[in-house]
Each structure stands twice: as structure tokens, then as C-alpha cells.
Structure 1
């Protein structure tokens, strides 16, 4: 049985129609998870396919919301147009699925979400870049993007409205990213807030409790 299928997208920015290879959910096999819940995949790596990039204008976003994004206001449109025109001059995208190409696409999605003031998705884009660098064994680049993801999660938590259902995930990553980066006191503070606010029915609260206990023992 094939692991892939093609989906047609319409770019919400320039209107171009194009097809993109997607991976069937049943083809994704997770054999382990890292400290920050990064999946270790057995075969197909879905991170290679998650970001959809328009081949015409380079508008990029996660596949789940690519066609539903609303671009509000002329100023936002101008910023996006300038950003994407500059990106197209600097970034050469190839029609292959690998770590290097996925990193480029997540970088583009991070820039787009930044213009759209969607900080949570900027943070997730940077986190996925860090994970891809981890798979490549590039620790300095991984650290740089973990720091960028942490900064965006902090800003999202402080300044943005977010769904209550997102709370455990946000607090978990504020804790675990600080832990990975060696900020023990900050990590403990966020874990304690996570455990005060949410019970262990949440996966993030359950794992957060484990990480908090590991932190206290170390």
C-alpha cells in the first residue's frame, strides 16, 4: 500500500493551484520520544511534508490551515508581499523531501506566521527546525532554534489570547525548553505552574510532572 498521496491546494495569497505530496496518517510510526516529546520516527518522517509552500509566491503554512488562513489588512499584505519576494530571491526550494528542504519550509512558515501575528505557530515552526537539526546531529543550530522557539512561546503566553486547551502544551514547552537549555530555575517555575493549573489527564501535565521530578533529582 502506498504511503503517500497527492493533495491539491490553492494558495490563499496569490491564488495559484498546485499539488503536493502528503503522507498517509497510517504510515507514520513512532518508536520513541525525546525529552521534549519530539517523535523518533520508524520510517517516514512526516515533518518533511507538514509545511505547504506555494511554488509561485513561497507563501508557507502548516497543511492543516494553509487554505483557511485569512490575511487581514493592506499593511499585512504589503509586508507579506515584500517578505516573500525577498525570500524567493534568497531561498532555492527543490522538489524533494529531506531535512534541508524541510528546514527551509519551516523557516518560511515561521516568517509568514510572524507577519500574521500567530506566535504559537512561529514557535512550533522554530521547534520543528530545532528537531530537524537534532536529527542531523547539528547541536549548535538546534540550540539556536530551541532558544528562538522558547522566546516565541514566552511572548505567546504573556501577550496573546489562547485556547484553554492549548495551556498545558504551552506551559510544558516553557518548562522543557528551559530545562534543555540549562535554565533550571525557570524550568521548575513553569513546571510547577503547569502542575498547579492542570491535572494529569493532560499528556503534557503528566510528562511535565515526570520532567519536574527528574529536574529535582538531578
Structure 2
């Protein structure tokens, strides 16, 4: 009988050790609901691909996602060895089936690694965003909002300082997501600005659904504001 989890070989970007970590076979990934910021909910809930987004090297502790760049800025590898590897005891549990709390730990490890490595803003934004989604599934609102606030700043930096078109995310998707996170943080002025930017891209993009989502969220804000003034 085919198991939902399989072993994937990963080469650590820091120590170059090859290790195995779990992934979920695509046929077992069943999303039954999606939020307007692209957070998905899965059944059964323990077969959530978010739990396995981060790979943790059991030897040196460096944690990475598939979006991490192989390049290390000068001095970054030495800092990682000092701050992470020198304090790391060999641990294999993250290469096995993960609980939701173990998944949370892997994101925090990856966020530390990404910060020390000076990883791209877009990559760091994705880590913070996914961690916020996991806290949402636990209904831990304070932690969710904490990481949403950090993620939106990273997305703004990515949009203003990086060529996001070279990533897996399109420009309009990044702009929409910035607006949607601001909306969830109740910063309606910023949210409206970014939704308007996304709508203005309607003739330049093939992602017409993103344009429609931006319009829907823009109208939601307008209606909420009208109700508050009524």
C-alpha cells in the first residue's frame, strides 16, 4: 500500500551533507478550503504540505526551503556556523513525520537561517507568511498577526528592491498579497493602494483571477467603510 509520505534527498546548502526528509505525495494532498490570502486547509489536517515546506539538516542544523539561493554572501557561512551549527546537536526527528508544533519549529529555524544568510526578501516573506497560516489553523490570532506583520514588510521590500518576475510569484500576485495582508491587519489605506495597483495591471497580466480578487477585496473595504460611516 502506497504511503502518503515519502523520503526526499536534500543537500544542505551550508555543510553539503545529503540527508532525507519527508514530503507528501501529491495524490494525498486534498485542500477543501482556501482563504483570500491563498492559505489552504487540508483533510486530514496532518497531511498538510506546509508541515514539510522546510528541510532541516540533522548534522549542522541549517534549515532551508526550496526557494533558498545556493549563494552565500561573504562571511555569511561563518556566521551560520557560529550561531547555528556550533550550538546544534545532531537531530533526526525533523526528517520524520511532523506534528504541527514540530513544523512550527522548522519555520523558526529556517527564518533564523534565512536572516543570517541574508536570503532574498521574497523567500523570507514566504516563510513568515506560511508560519502565520499555521498559527491560523491553530486559531492563535496573536501569533498569526505577529508573523503577518513581518511578512508584509518583507513582501514590500521584495516588490521594491527585487525582481520578483524571476521568482515563482508574478508581480501582480505579490502586489495583491501585500494588499490582502494589509487588509487583514486592518490597514485599509495601504490595502486600498495595493489593490488599486493590482487592478491597474489588468491589461498587462494573464492572471485575470488575481485582478478579480483585488476588485472583490477593494469593494469589501469600501462597503465596510460605508457601514462604519452610516
Shift of 1:137: 1.2
Give 5+ residue unaligned stretches, structure 2: 225-230
Matched with 1:183 is: 187
Distance 1:92 1:83 in 2: 20
Distance 1:86 1:186 in 2: 42
CA contact (8 A) 1:150 1:174 kept: yes
Which of 203, 210, 213 does residue 216 from structure 2 map onto? 210
CA contact (8 A) 1:71 1:77 kept: no
Distance 1:143 1:207 in 2: 21
Shift of 1:126: 0.4
Which of 37, 49, 53 does residue 52 from structure 2 map onto? 49
Which of 165, 171, 196 does residue 192 from structure 1 map onto? 196
CA contact (8 A) 2:51 2:100 kept: yes
Distance 1:32 1:87 in 2: 40
CA contact (8 A) 1:4 1:21 kept: yes
Deviations 1:84-123 (A, max 9, x none): 237637x996544122111111122223233233110101
Structure 1 runs of 4+ with >4 Å offset:
91-96
Shift of 1:13: 1.2
Moved more, 92-101 or 180-189: 92-101
Deviations 1:152-210 (A, max 9, x none): 11111122222175211210111001000010111000000011024574143332222
Distance 2:126 2:158 in 1: 11
TM-score (norm 1): 0.88
CA contact (8 A) 2:62 2:85 kept: no
TM-score (norm 2): 0.84
Number of matched residues? 214
Give 5+ residue unaligned stretches, structure 1: none
CA contact (8 A) 2:54 2:106 kept: yes
Shift of 1:74: 3.6
Trace 1:14-93 onto structure 2 (pairs within 5 A). 14-43=15-44, 44-62=47-65, 64-65=66-67, 69-85=69-85, 88=88
Task: State which structure, 1 or 2, has the greater radius of gyration over its C-alpha atoms.
Answer: 2
